[in-house]
């Protein structure tokens, strides 16, 4: 009995122990499953932090860079590329660059407005008639004001001690001009600075401080008298003339024009339109080659006043024309047509070119031969300027002793009395010039200077051509 019980107890004990072993093994397997899951969870979390950080960095960098560059270089492409590349976290950076059009919008309209000369002209053709007034402001006639589009008030000068702008008897002269403009508000009054022999340009333009001082003084003058722009008559950058000059003038001229344009863009003209910036330019090829960076400078300019006169004078060896329309091919003689060609070839747009006529002639004394009616002959008595009004008095006076001739090769008139030769512009030559302006889509015609043409020949002839009369 005891043996049977003992055997039974031993058997029962063995069963219990076996069960314990089985339970123990089952728990161990579950623990292994859990510990296997744990590394997987760790691996996932590691993958989310490190690789995900890198992968997020790559797309984030791309959208961040793309929208930043896009609005600057190509505003239209920015909205398309930004949402497509990273719709997830990038909307905020994408929205921010989209606001960048402000820099693009502000500067762009102003340069674009620079080439809009046409509204300046009251003529139906859009062509401009302009005059420089210098010696007799009191002689300005209202009917002439109504027929011109721009009056250039000459001359402001550079004070070489303070590098500010000065203008003699400014109050009286500006009152005459602005009173006349009240009766014809379409006419612009533009301050002209410089002229032949006017020094100080090179010294002023060569320093950023002096440029600012000068421009500030000019703007104060314009604001005071409510003028409509600035004309720079620097004769001449680099090559000089009778003034101080430097090889640096070429680049400094561009800087000066740029800074004037920026100052003018902060104002509006008397009629609410854009302020004008123009220059008086030499008529020869060398000016475009040596004196001005055309491609850089032209963007700041509304018009270029080509001084298509003084082709001959006291410096000449023989008598010749000084403001002729054309010249025979194969000669080196200057002409309006060749001067326009030089400007166009240099890169000046036709729509910005204003050609020149002269309200004065050149009187050559002591002509040594009557051959060719005095044209192309040596002279001993010098040469001086003579007003167009005086010339017309000689033409219209049958007792003056002068005969008028027309040179069909140069398309220009001249007078000769046997010893004195006078070349000039008249209604016939001005008509040709004005017709050339229309045919070649130039901006207009200007002349120096108002007081010399008391009969208004240049103004009336040009206006008639431009108005199609």
| Cβ atoms of residues 356 and 448 within 8 Å | yes
Distance CA 468, CA 462 (A): 10
| Cβ atoms of residues 354 and 348 within 8 Å | no
Distance CA 128, CA 228 (A): 15
| Cβ atoms of residues 221 and 156 within 8 Å | yes
**Known catalytic residue: 235?**
yes
| Cβ atoms of residues 438 and 125 within 8 Å | yes
| Cβ atoms of residues 128 and 120 within 8 Å | yes
Alpha helical stretches, state H, 200-359: 201-205, 208-225, 249-264, 285-286, 294-297, 336-346
Distance CA 457, CA 436 (A): 17
Q: Give me the residue label for tokens 């008139």.
A: 413
Q: Give me the residue label for tokens 């902060």.
A: 266
Catalytic residue among 235, 435, 449, 464: 235
Range 381-387, long-range pairs (CB < 8 A, 24+ positions):
381/419, 381/420, 382/314, 383/313, 383/314, 383/316, 384/314, 385/360, 385/361, 386/360, 386/361, 386/362, 386/422, 386/424, 387/359, 387/360, 387/361, 387/451, 387/452, 387/453, 387/454
First to last CA, the chain: 153
- Cβ neighbours of residue 1 closer than 8 Å, sequence gap 6 or more: none
Locate 114 and state its tokens. Answer: 């620079």
Q: Which active-site residues does the annotation give? A: 235
């Amino acid at each position: 009995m005891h043996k049977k019980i003992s055997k039974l107890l031993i058997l029962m004990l063995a069963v219990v122990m076996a069960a314990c072993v089985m339970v123990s093994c089952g728990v161990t397997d579950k623990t292994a499953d859990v510990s296997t899951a744990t590394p997987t969870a760790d691996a996932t979390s590691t993958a989310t932090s490190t690789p995900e950080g890198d992968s997020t960095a790559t797309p984030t960098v791309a959208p961040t860079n793309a929208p930043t560059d896009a609005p600057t270089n190509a505003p239209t492409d920015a909205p398309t590329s930004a949402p497509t590349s990273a719709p997830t976290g990038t909307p905020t950076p994408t929205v921010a660059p989209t606001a960048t059009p402000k820099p693009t919008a502000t500067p762009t309209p102003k340069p674009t407005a620079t080439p809009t000369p046409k509204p300046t002209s009251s003529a139906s053709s859009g062509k401009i008639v302009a005059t420089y007034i210098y010696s007799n402001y009191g002689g300005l006639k209202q009917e002439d004001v109504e027929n011109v589009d721009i009056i250039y008030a000459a001359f402001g000068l550079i004070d070489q001690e303070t590098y500010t702008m000065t203008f003699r008897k400014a109050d009286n002269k500006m009152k005459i001009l602005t009173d006349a403009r009240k009766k014809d508000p379409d006419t612009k009054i533009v301050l002209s600075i410089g002229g032949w022999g006017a020094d100080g340009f090179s010294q002023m333009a060569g320093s950023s401080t002096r440029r600012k001082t000068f421009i500030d003084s000019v703007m104060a003058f314009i604001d005071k008298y409510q003028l409509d722009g600035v004309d720079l008559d620097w004769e001449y950058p680099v090559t000089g003339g009778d003034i101080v000059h430097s090889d640096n003038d070429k680049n400094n001229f561009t800087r000066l024009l740029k800074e004037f344009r920026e100052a003018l863009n902060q104002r509006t003209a008397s009629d609410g339109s854009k302020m004008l910036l123009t220059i008086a330019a030499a008529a020869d090829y060398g000016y475009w080659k040596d004196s001005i960076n055309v491609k850089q400078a032209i963007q700041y300019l509304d018009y270029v006043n080509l001084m298509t006169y003084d082709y001959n004078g006291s410096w000449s060896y023989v008598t010749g024309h000084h403001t002729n329309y054309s010249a025979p091919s194969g000669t080196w003689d200057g002409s309006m047509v060749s001067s326009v060609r030089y400007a166009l070839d240099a890169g000046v747009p036709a729509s910005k070119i204003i050609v020149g006529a002269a309200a004065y002639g050149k009187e050559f004394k002591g002509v040594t031969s009557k051959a060719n009616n005095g044209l192309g002959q040596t002279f001993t008595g010098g040469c001086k300027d003579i007003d167009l009004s005086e010339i017309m008095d000689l033409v219209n006076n049958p007792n003056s002793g002068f005969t008028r001739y027309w040179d069909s090769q140069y398309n220009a008139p001249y007078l000769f009395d046997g010893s004195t030769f006078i070349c000039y512009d008249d209604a016939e030559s001005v008509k040709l010039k004005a017709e050339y302006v229309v045919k070649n889509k130039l901006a207009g015609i200007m002349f120096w200077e108002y007081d010399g043409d008391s009969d208004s020949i240049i103004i009336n002839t040009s206006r008639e051509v431009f108005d199609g009369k």
